[in-house]
Amino acid sequence: MGQGMSCGHPNIELDFFAAVQYGELMMVESILRMDPGILRRTTSYGRLSALHIAAARGHVEMLSMLLERWDHPDVLNRHKQTPLMVAAMRGKISCVEKLLQAGANILTFDSANGRTCLHYAAYYGHSDCLQAIIQAAQSNPISESWGFARFVNVRDAKGATPLHLAAKKSRPTCVRMLLDNGALVCVSTGDYGSPGSTPLHLAARGGCLDSVRELLAWGADRLQMDSAGRIPYVVALKRNHICAALLNPSSAEPLVWPSPLKFISELNPDVKLLLETALIDANKKREKKIFKGMPSSYISPDHSEENVGDDDKSEGSDVELCCICFEQVCTIEVRDCGHQMCAYCTLALCSHNKPNRGTLSPPAPPLCPFCRSTITRLAAAKTEISEDVDKETSPKLRRSRHSASPSEGSSSFKGLSMGSFGRMGAHGSGRIADSSSLILDKP
């Protein structure tokens, strides 16, 4: 065992914190046997506890051992940051999970920016940590007292929600995840009534095409002004960002995910995937027109070309065509009446009401276009489609399904639209960000 171990050695604290930092479990345990009270002490500069250091380093075994001996998951550092915030900031998912299990408070605000752990996960783009915190919030006493929707839309000292930060830092995966979990798309950083920036303004400033796509597909308003009276288009144009083309109010409106409808939040994964794929396809076609004449690299990358190009109509097959557009195959069945239509027409029907800005009040559910009964549920159309499509008929459908399904299952818009931007998401970035310093910077 190490040099500075003799009793009363002035360097015992240094040894202790260094051992925690480098994950030397045995060393830490032996120091704790000699001086259990050392767990309450902190580093002199950042006032980091051993829990902060283990969490920042991603040493989950160390963290568990420390928590067993000192059950204080919400100990604060100099900036009033909890170990959970630090782990979320560094993308240490196993430590985030451990701290959540240990009952860490998800609604603590730091003193640096008045941010929560959810803000940090979004800001640094660690979507796995973001997901874990959101999941914990759903079954947390906090959400019962505070409300889950309110937690997802929690503001920092400058009025920014986690969605603002994810949009600002170009984290499209986190942008989508937050929207999918009830983040308000048109919320402004200004206090009630006063103008401020929307997530779309911040995405426009960052020039992140995929974040702009996501926000527009969730009904972000291209005409909302910030405190300087600018719409997002002007913000993007000033910086010569290509996303300005999509933000231009005179370019075609995107198809919008009908998120406020109750039956949309209750979709089963099959139907959700069909609708998401249709949404991405439709908006890609629209983008192709908008970006016409510009270098092709700006158009949705990867599969876009082949997908947009093939206007195949499944000719010569006995598959039933949608009776509204006569172009696509019927894949969606309306309940309870049982009428069928294609995913495109379903979306167009459901998304004609844009979500109300800044509120959660749901619009009236749409009516079935065939019998005018209220749509209460959508199901995947059965008949021959589910089997036959895979074998022969529609190459478009088949490809869409396959390309979208490996991307983390249910709630993902990611499949096609992310393309090469996908790497900006969280996966792996925690590893890269692992600096050797003990000091935890505020953003």
Q: Which positions touch Zn ion (CB under 5 A)?
A: 322, 324-325, 328, 337, 339, 342, 345, 368, 370-371
Smaller CB separation from Zn ion, 175 or 375: 375
Min separation Cβ 397 and Zn ion, Å: 13
CB-count exposure of residue 308 (10 Å: 0-12, 13-18, 19+): middle
Smaller CB separation from Zn ion, 150 or 335: 335
Taking alpha carbons only, the member of 205, 160, 90, 60 closest to residue 437 is: 90
Return the residue matching tokens 């009964």: 373
Instruction: Report strand pairing: 332-335 vs 340-341.
Output: antiparallel
Smaller CB separation from Zn ion, 195 or 369: 369
Min separation Cβ 378 and Zn ion, Å: 12
Smaller CB separation from Zn ion, 342 or 350: 342
Smaller CB separation from Zn ion, 68 or 315: 315
Min separation Cβ 274 and Zn ion, Å: 12
Smaller CB separation from Zn ion, 33 or 372: 372
Bond from prior residue into 302 cis (ω within 30 degrees of 0) = no
Count of other CB atoms within 10 angstroms of residue 196: 18
Return the residue matching tokens 């991603």: 58
Smaller CB separation from Zn ion, 313 or 399: 313
Taking alpha carbons only, the member of 74, 77, 64, 62 closest to residue 16 is: 62
Min separation Cβ 371 and Zn ion, Å: 3
CA distance 430 to 87: 10
Min separation Cβ 290 and Zn ion, Å: 23
Min separation Cβ 370 and Zn ion, Å: 4
Smaller CB separation from Zn ion, 339 or 399: 339
Crossing angle (nearest 10°) for helices 269-290 and 395-404: 110
Terminal CA-to-CA distance of the chain, rounded, Å? Answer: 37
Whether residue 398 contacts residue 13, with contact meaning beta carbons closer than 8 Å, is answered with: no
User: Hey, what are 79's tokens?
Assistant: 């900036």
CB-count exposure of residue 320 (10 Å: 0-12, 13-18, 19+): middle
Min separation Cβ 345 and Zn ion, Å: 3
Alpha helix stretches (DSSP H) within 266-384 = 269-290, 304-309, 343-350
Min separation Cβ 278 and Zn ion, Å: 9
